[in-house]
Chains A and B, each alone.
Chain A
Amino acid sequence: MPFNSIVFCFLFLPLTILLYFLVPKKLKNLYLLLISILFYSYSGLFNTIILLFMVFYNYISVRKMDRLGKRRKYKLIEILIINLFVLCYFKYYYLLLSNLFQNVSFKEILLPLGMSFYIFTIVSYVLDVYHRKIESEKNFLSFSLYVLFFPKLIMGPIVRYQDFKKQQSQEFQPSLFHSGCKRFVLGLSMKVILADTFSKILASYEPASMLGSILILFLYSFQIYYDFAGYTNMALGLSNLFGFSFEENFDYPYLSKSVGEFFRRWHITLGKWFRDYVYIPLGGSRVSKPRLIMNLLIVWLLTGMWHGATFNFILWGLFLGMIIAFEKLLFSKIHGFRIIRTILTFFIISISWVFFFHSDINDITSILKNLINTHQLTDLSSLFLIQNNGIYLIIGLIGITPFVKNIGKRFQKGSNLLYHIFTSFFLLILLCLSTAYLISYSYQTFLYFNF
């Protein structure tokens, strides 16, 4: 059940909160687990059974592994193979077959919702137990809730077990509850007012000039940011409602001064996952230069493949891997030129989104060709787009900076009460508008649901 669906916002969520207040403290975790299973079952019981099987299997196997002495390595390999096999089967098998044998038709295998995220969550737990960073969880309920907790189940953030464990069975925290609601509403409006509007604009827009291609880059950058950061705000806000607070997943990434920095501020939890479980075990950056390049390319190839197995994601990953290797080797000592570096980074990242959005090489080249099309600087439909949707583009541009947040902070110093009244009023308007947009656009899925 997506957070931006009417069923979730106006049926599941209010009832879940209401009942949460009524459930006795001791049963709250069990309640959250059952609600999470119900939440997930909405996308089909078949997927739920796979998910529950994975939880059950990993719980038992990791307990077993923890008790083994020298042979724990073999158990680890078994667990990793099973988890990655399940993920690869659902993610790549159909794609591989249908590409290899193009004349034969196969029954399509759909990736169960959130599988890329929950398998990565589980793998982080398995490896942390193996490296004795944490002890394996004895309590099956606690472990299941860690994997299944609905606010983060489908699209992250990918939470480490130690961060989750310490927050279970906490008291209801009013201030966390209120700020969680604010965050949820903010996230919802980012998704339905901005991301969906950008997606709608893109759907009926074919750029035919240099200006058009530049606009496309902005629209892609905005759409993907408001889609995923909006979702993450909803997820973190929802976690707050039930007394959990997790690590941030975004930190104004578009203000980064290098591509490397961008990915330390974009989808932070996935970046850390690859850093801790792939990059560092490969030797990290304390290796020879050729090895470093190799390590970076491996990590980025895998990051690309995590998003999808089509060639465009692989190209996307390799493109970024190369740029980051380049930065590390040549530009690591450059300081200053901050604004130019930020603009350049934005430009490179937005070009990388072209690979993200298109699996047809012709579409990609046509957009990139137009970027250097000096014969056709503008076209009527691009000019109209600016004229008509300029306001959305301006809001989009302001929203990728901490501008509004900073104003709020300054305001808060003046009068706390006034600040709360003002923000609550503003967010209530956003909530009404989000409802209006939700009803007007029929449901638009999240981009990261596919990954």
Chain B
Amino acid sequence: MKKKTHFFGWLTLIFLLTIFFMNFFSPDIKFSKEENRTMAQKPKMDAQGVWNGSYGSNYDAYMEDQFWNRSFWKRMKTKFEKTIGLKKIDNIYFGNDGRLIEEAVIPSEEFMKRRVENLKKFDTDYSKLNVQFLLIPNKIGIYYDEVGSKNLQEELYQKFTSNFREDLFKINPFEILKEHKKEKIFYDTDHHYTTLAARYLSESFYDKKDVTYEEYTVNDHFVGTSANKIAYYEHADTVSLYVPKEEISYYVTYDGEEKEYTTIYDDQKQYSNNPYEIFFGGNHGKIEIQTNAEKENKLLLIKDSYANSFLPFILSEYREIIVIDPRYYYENIDEVIKDKQITDILLLYNMNTFFEDTSFDDMVENIKE
């Protein structure tokens, strides 16, 4: 009787062996689109690695990355945790209507001190130019009530901006985005704001009211970084473009290369995994745009990826725009300002990147007199 009722050992063995064989026979992948990173490959066995044990830890990493049906297992965990009532997994909250909301980045005092000093220095160094800063909240700054917290990001905004002259921050993006809270101003599954939100901010920033746009849908099955991070694939987003009816012409060059483009849109990215890259094909260290707008101003835009969907709305405001992303541009920015005879500087960041990434400080500290 007793023998018949024991079978769990066989179940376990079958389970482990099945996964062993599936791991063994499934081909290794080099790059994971979902996780947006290169995956560990089978390590080469060498004497030193075996001696100090690093071969073993590399093999661990390899098996972990190449695990059979990796995304299925990750989805299972997220589904389970959502079912048992978790409202936040890793640093992502489940908001209302499928909104995935990334936690607000709160910088350390040390970080804050360095950043305030550098921005002050930058602002005084270029006090003869028209320097402006558009510091844009993330989803958490607008939909904080859905995660049952106070608005940490707006508190941070007030605290940070109070260190500088008032007119450095011409508009308050919190006010504008909150007005449009009921519209789709952020992607549900991605950490970016939508083109619509960029449009509202640009209209307010340049005081434009009567521009008419044509709306195009680029991709309606966009699954963004937040969803991929926790493997939560319940729904998808739509990426749209707003093209002004009276378009101006311009040409674009990337990272100092000679090739000129007559559009800022990269069609190839339309159906890619990250259709947000339709703007400029993603992030670049340096982009130069010459327009035929009847303006004299030359803009230096220092930015992160939030600027990519903002830029299409401001082309008609400048004769020339130099776009620098300090995360990928390491040269002395002062040379650009002098060479190009820049008249206006706009800093455009989303708050989470601005208070996490230190490349802004590196850039300012790198400016040589």
Contacts and interface: CB of A to CB of B under 8 A. Distances in A.
Contacts of B7: 178, 420, 424
A55 B279 CA distance: 65
A184 interface: yes
Given A380-B150, A384-B148, A416-B1, A46 B80 contact: no
Contacts of B20: 10-11, 14-15
Contact of B74 (A15, A182, A440): A440
B2 interface: yes
Interface string B11-54: 11101110110010000000000000000000000000011111
A438 to B, nearest CB: 8
Contacts of B91: 204
A436 B76 contact: yes
Contacts of A204: 91
Given A18-B17, A184-B12, A44 B5 contact: no
A154 interface: no
A420 B6 contact: yes
Contacts of A391: 84-86
Interface stretch (B59-67, B180-188, B282-290, B315-323): B59-67
Dominant secondary structure of chain B at its interface with chain A: helix
Contacts of B78: 440
B12 A7 contact: no
A366 interface: no
A427 interface: yes
Q: How large is the interface on A (under 10, 10 to 19, 20 to 34, 35 or more residues)?
A: 35 or more
A181 B13 contact: yes
A417 B15 CA distance: 22
Given A14-B13, A416-B1, A424-B8, A45 B51 contact: yes
Contacts of B19: 10, 435
Contacts of B1: 416
Contacts of A13: 16
B60 A5 contact: yes
A233 B325 CA distance: 52
A389 to B, nearest CB: 7
Given A185-B12, A391-B84, A424-B7, A7 B77 contact: no
B11 A44 contact: no
Interface residues of B, number: 48
B333 to A, nearest CB: 35
Nearest to A437: B77
B62 to A, nearest CB: 9
B16 A10 contact: yes
B56 A1 contact: yes
Contacts of B23: 10-11
A443 B56 CA distance: 13
A10 to B, nearest CB: 5
A442 B64 contact: yes
B73 A440 contact: yes
Interface in A383-414: 384, 387-391
A433 interface: yes
B149 interface: yes
A19 interface: no
A388 B13 contact: no
Interface string A184-218: 11000000000000000000100000000000000
Dominant secondary structure of chain A at its interface with chain B: helix
B60 A44 contact: no
Nearest to A390: B85
A433 B8 contact: no
Contacts of B147: 384
Contacts of B12: 181, 184-185, 431
B327 interface: no
B53 A439 contact: no
Contacts of B10: 178
A42 interface: yes
A423 interface: yes
B50 A44 contact: yes
A83 to B, nearest CB: 23
A433 B91 CA distance: 21
A139 B363 CA distance: 69
Interface in B102-153: 147-150
Nearest to B10: A178
A440 B15 contact: no
B234 to A, nearest CB: 17
A47 B56 CA distance: 13
A191 to B, nearest CB: 15
B74 A436 contact: yes
Given A391-B86, A431-B12, A436-B77, A384 B64 contact: no
Nearest to A112: B53
A419 B87 CA distance: 34
B8, B23, B54, B59 — which one has the most chain A CB atoms within 10 A of its CB?
B8
B338 interface: no
Contacts of B74: 436, 439-440
A436 B148 contact: no
Contact of B16 (A14, A424, A433, A443): A14
A27 interface: no
Interface string B156-181: 00000000000000000000000000
A175 interface: yes
B51 A11 contact: no
A43 interface: yes
Contacts of A283: none
A417 B91 CA distance: 44
B256 interface: no
A424 B73 CA distance: 21
A174 interface: yes
Contacts of B86: 388-389, 391
A42 B361 CA distance: 43
B3 interface: yes
A137 to B, nearest CB: 30
B88 interface: yes
A175 B17 CA distance: 20
B63 A11 contact: yes
A353 interface: no
B71 to A, nearest CB: 9
Contact of A436 (B2, B3, B11, B73): B73
Contact of B64 (A6, A387, A390, A427): A6
B66 to A, nearest CB: 10
Contacts of A177: 9
B5 A417 contact: yes
A6 B53 contact: no
Interface string A1-37: 1000111011101110110000000000000000000
Contacts of A6: 60, 63-64, 67
A79 to B, nearest CB: 28
Contacts of A184: 12
B149 A424 contact: no
Nearest to B59: A7
Given A44-B53, A181-B8, A440-B74, A428 B60 contact: no
A433 B56 contact: no
Interface in A35-81: 41-47
13 contacts: A6-B67, A11-B20, A14-B13, A14-B17, A46-B52, A174-B9, A175-B3, A181-B13, A184-B12, A388-B87, A416-B2, A424-B7, A433-B76
Nearest 10 A-B pairs (CB), nearest first? A44-B53, A178-B9, A14-B16, A178-B6, A436-B76, A439-B73, A436-B77, A181-B12, A181-B9, A42-B56
